[in-house]
Structure 1
Amino acid sequence: MNAKRILSTASTTLAATCLLITAQASYAQATLPDSIKVPDGHKIALETVGVGEITYECRDKANANGETEWTFAGPKAVLNDRNGKQVGTYFGPPATWQANDGSKITGTQLAVAPSGPGNLPYQLVKANPAEGKGAMNGISYIQRVALKGGVAPTSECSSANKGKSEVVKYQADYIFWAPN
């Protein structure tokens, strides 16, 4: 009788866990703007939390003679798993996600969508083929979600301080997808 009860409890717990994992993956896509949703036929391969900084530089505005603006110069972040253990890094340009095993990918931005005031936008990136063997092999898309901070500085950017760099902190979840 006890063995039956233990098996029944274990089966129920396993089924609930599988349902929860499926619901979380579905929920994540359901709440995102359509433009950054990953196409059908893909599954989550790796979930990371990027914690780091983005550098902006005060530069001439493109096609606006004599005007300046804060321009994205590059990111630098640690990629942690959901338990807080470092599993890789994110840096650029070009935007590069590198696993601790040395495998890495770059990609092409497909879409962005607003994520809230003071936060970088959501982003969908089509991954290029991985370099090196490891965790980044087979990745097809990267989503940037759950954003905190990272937008351009609010300090003055003028011809007087052209060339000045400022660093802002940010955090974002990077979700790596692979074909089913």
Structure 2
Amino acid sequence: MSRPFTFTFASLLAATLLSACGSMSPMKPMYSQAGLPAAVQVPAGNKVAMETVGVGEITYQCSAKKDMAGQFEWVFAGPDAKLNDRGGKQVGKYYGPPATWEAMDGSRLTATQVAVAPNGSGNIPTQLVKANPAMGSGAMSGVTYIQRVDTRGGVAPAMPCAAGNAGARQVVQYQADYIFYKAM
């Protein structure tokens, strides 16, 4: 009689262990730059430190074109977005001017644009920026580069920009992944 019980107990133990292993999520691979144009790839010697999804808006202002009398254009005035982790939890914000990435722990940084590359019609370009030293200690400390990838929307408004609406502001919605890198 003890044999079937032992077999049942062993079977139950094996099933429990297998189901525990089966419910474990495989490790998510780090963000890959393989499909990006060379101009916006992060230089060797840096590794992904944080992946975020920026969801928000970009404001444009109708302004006179520099050195072109009587001509006007929509000019980037600044972003306002929440930075969420891959699970949807807010971990920071992105705002400006100047363009500033700030973690919920209060650490923040600005950056200098290195390069941009087109990302399809109706989307702001993919971008690579070199981070300036962070202010405050926390998640942004030690960040060397930020990539803006997988952009959706965010381009200047389609409505006319002319002398009659100079100074007008328009807000457009956008989403983009912001990938933060630190030196290895």
TM-score, shorter chain, exceeding 0.5: yes
Equivalent position to 1:92, from 65, 73, 96: 96
1:166 corresponds in structure 2 to: 170
1:41 Cα shift? 1.0
Equivalent position to 1:79, from 76, 83, 86: 83
The answer as to 2:70 corresponding to 1:61 is no
1:150 corresponds in structure 2 to: 154
2:55 corresponds in structure 1 to: 51
Instruction: Let me know the Cα RMSD of the aligned residues.
Output: 2.1
Please identify which structure carries the higher helix content. Answer: 1
Alignment of 1:1-180 (within 5 A): 17-18=26-27, 21-22=28-29, 24-25=30-31, 28-180=32-184
Structure 1 letter corresponding to 2:26 = T
Counterparts of 2:166 and 2:33 in 1: how far apart (Å)?
41
Runs of 4+ that moved beyond 2 A: 1-7
Percent identity at matched positions?
56
Counterparts of 1:117 and 1:96 in 2: how far apart (Å)?
26
Unaligned runs of 5+ residues in structure 1 are: none
Helix, strand or coil for the counterpart of 1:117? coil
Counterparts of 2:112 and 2:127 in 1: how far apart (Å)?
11
Counterparts of 2:14 and 2:179 in 1: how far apart (Å)?
39
Unaligned runs of 5+ residues in structure 2 are: 1-9
**Structure with the greater alpha carbon radius of gyration:** 2
1:63 Cα shift? 1.1
Counterparts of 2:95 and 2:103 in 1: how far apart (Å)?
12
Q: TM-score, normalised by structure 2?
A: 0.86
